[in-house]
Each structure stands twice: as C-alpha cells, then as structure tokens.
C-alpha cells in the first residue's frame, strides 16, 4: 500500500480513535457514580460456583450494570449494540474467582454458518496493573488489560490487549466457563484461579478491590470485535 494512502488511513483511524476516546470520556462522565459501580464478591470457603445454577448464586449480591455501544475501533465495523444492561455477581471460592453475568438476548446465536453470521458473547476485562488509570477501552500502549471472553460457540479465550486492535489470545489453562440459556437470554459463569503467571494476565490474589469492565455481543445483530455493548468506565470488584 502506497505510503500516502497508508498515512491517510492512519490519520483517519487516529481521528476515529480520538473522537471515540472523547466520546468514551463523555459517556464515562455521565455513567453511574463511582460509589455505585461496586460488585461485592461473596467469599465462601469451598464449594463450586461453576454452574450458573449453583445454589451459591442465590446468596451473592446482584448488581445491574448499564452498557453502551463501544465507539467504533475500525471504520469498517460500525453499528449500535442492542444489549442495554447485564447483571453481574461474583463469588470467591477457595483460590478461584467466579463471575456470573446474565443478560437478555432473545436469539441464541451459537454457530457461524455463514460469513455474515456471528455468535453471542460476553467478556470481563481487568487492568493487568490493577489501576483505574489504565484505559477501560482495552487498555493502552503502556498499560495492558486481561480479558476473559466467553463465546456461545463454546470457545472461551484469555486475551491480553494494549489498546483496541491489539487483542492477543494467551493460553490460561485455568480459565473456565459454563452457560445456560434462560427464557430471556443467557446466564454465563466465567472463572479462573486468582493467581496466574504474569504473562497470563491480571493477578487477583491478595487484592481488596479490582477494577473490572464488561462487554456483550449479540450475534443476531452482527455484533463482533469492536461492535459490542460495553461499560465505558471501570467498575470495582470488592473482595
């Protein structure tokens, strides 16, 4: 590609990114006040919270989390995400963190049978350095984020990103997920050991709070990659 057109494209992308960041900052400004953006983690000695139907979820606090369409990361993938909110719960059982997400989605998109088909998905994101100074929009060049990504086709991936456009799968063998279809949508539990090797992502061991962000994709609405519903600001897990 000739330099001039590459430069034009880069300029367009950074303009979009800048506009997006401003939009992001503006959206974050009118989001839920900090104090309300807390998800209380229920700590239990042992037991298993892997299934969305596990009894322990009846005891864990439920928090409503409002979502907004992520600003376009790529000019070629734009649209309006349909998921307006999800509920989040968290349980610490032994040395594992379990995060349960539930949201409405009338269609179960679980397989990609054609080029214009996409699967439902959900994800949680943590700043690897544990700081809210890391950009919640998939991190930035200096500050990475760790994303746990559930897909309705049964794939669960651990990702590291340093800004959107850089998401890279990094194996984390302790990452697990389980999901059920409900009358209105999905219930998904994503879990992982609190402690992992540094290259695998964010460590949660020994923390009293940890910033967390959320994302949901509706495959029926052609949502994929950057076209999704997200939290534009960090929420806080409180252990």
Q: CA-to-CA distance for 227 and 114, rounded, in angstroms? A: 18
Minimum separation from the CB atom of position 143 to ligand HEM (A)? 14
- In angstroms, what CA-CA distances link 82 with 54, 60, 79, 196? 28, 27, 10, 34
Please work out the total of residues on this chain that contact ligand HEM, with binding judged by CB under 6 A: 28
**Are the C-beta atoms of residues 42 and 60 closer than 8 Å to each other?**
yes
Give me the residue label for tokens 């949201």: 103
Give me the residues paired with residue 156 across strands: 150
Is the Cβ of residue 45 or residue 107 nearer to ligand HEM in the bound state?
Answer: 107
Q: CA-to-CA distance for 78 and 72, rounded, in angstroms? A: 6
Minimum separation from the CB atom of position 55 to ligand HEM (A)? 27
Is the Cβ of residue 88 or residue 124 nearer to ligand HEM in the bound state?
Answer: 124
Q: Which of 217, 27, 12, 200 is nearest to 120 (CA)?
A: 217
Site stretch for ligand HEM (CB under 6 A), options 47-55, 96-104, 187-195, 207-215: 207-215
Is the Cβ of residue 4 or residue 76 nearer to ligand HEM in the bound state?
Answer: 76
Residue choice 74, 75, 84, 173 for contact with ligand HEM (CB under 6 A): 74
Residue choice 49, 124, 128, 178 for contact with ligand HEM (CB under 6 A): 124
Interface residues toward ligand HEM, by CB under 6 A? 20, 24, 70-71, 73-74, 123-125, 136-138, 147, 149, 159, 161, 164-167, 213-215, 224-226, 230, 232
């Amino acid at each position: 590609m000739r330099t001039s057109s590459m430069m034009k494209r880069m300029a367009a992308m950074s303009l979009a990114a800048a506009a997006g960041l401003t939009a992001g900052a503006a959206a974050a400004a009118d989001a839920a006040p900090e104090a309300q953006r807390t998800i209380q983690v229920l700590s239990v000695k042992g037991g298993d919270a892997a299934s969305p139907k596990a009894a322990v979820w009846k005891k864990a606090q439920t928090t409503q989390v409002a979502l907004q369409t992520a600003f376009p990361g790529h000019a070629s993938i734009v649209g309006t995400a349909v998921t307006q909110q999800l509920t989040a719960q968290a349980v610490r059982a032994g040395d594992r963190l379990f995060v349960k997400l539930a949201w409405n989605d009338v269609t179960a998109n679980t397989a990609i049978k054609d080029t214009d088909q996409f699967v439902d998905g959900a994800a949680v994101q943590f700043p690897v350095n544990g700081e809210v100074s890391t950009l919640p929009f998939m991190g930035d060049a200096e500050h990475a984020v760790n994303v746990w990504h559930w897909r309705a086709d049964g794939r669960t991936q651990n990702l590291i990103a340093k800004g959107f456009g850089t998401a890279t799968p990094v194996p984390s063998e302790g990452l697990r997920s389980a999901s059920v279809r409900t009358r209105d949508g999905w219930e998904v539990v994503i879990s992982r050991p609190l402690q992992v090797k540094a290259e695998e992502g964010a460590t949660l061991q020994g923390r009293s709070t940890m910033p967390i962000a959320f994302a949901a994709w509706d495959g029926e609405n052609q949502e994929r990659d950057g076209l999704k519903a997200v939290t534009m600001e960090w929420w806080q897990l409180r252990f």
